[in-house]
Amino acid sequence: MSTEKNRIYVGKGKKTDNYDLVNISLSRSKLENHWYEYEGEHYIKLTVGALRQTDQYGKTHSVWINDYKPNGQNEQQVSNSKPVEANVSEGDLPF
């Protein structure tokens, strides 16, 4: 896994009051080059971690690309194809 210094941060989140949930927002442009294909499906691995202190916007969590690859893992980056299209346009997002 990448060290904290080399992490690619792609979003932030906020823990909801009275629930054990974290709502996150992700940057599509930062995710596009990190998809990989496995058995015909496209995936992206992310890690969500709590911030040491709540930031100035009330965010309590950070999201980054999980680039850990165990020895012998058979993953192939999808670099020459279009990124997977989402079914939701940016205008439809509630944040």
What is the edge-to-edge ordering of all strands in the sheet holding 36-38?
A: 41-43, 36-38, 76-77
Check residue 68 and give its pLDDT. 82
Please state the domain extents for the chain: 4-70
| Mean pLDDT for the stretch of residues 21-40 | 92
Question: What are 77-84's contacts with CB under 8 Å, separation 24+?
Answer: 77/34, 77/35, 77/36, 78/35, 78/36, 78/37, 78/42, 79/33, 83/31, 83/32, 83/35, 84/35, 84/42
Q: How confident is the model at residue 90 (pLDDT cuts 50, 70, 90)?
A: very low
Check residue 73 and give its pLDDT. 57
Check residue 57 and give its pLDDT. 94
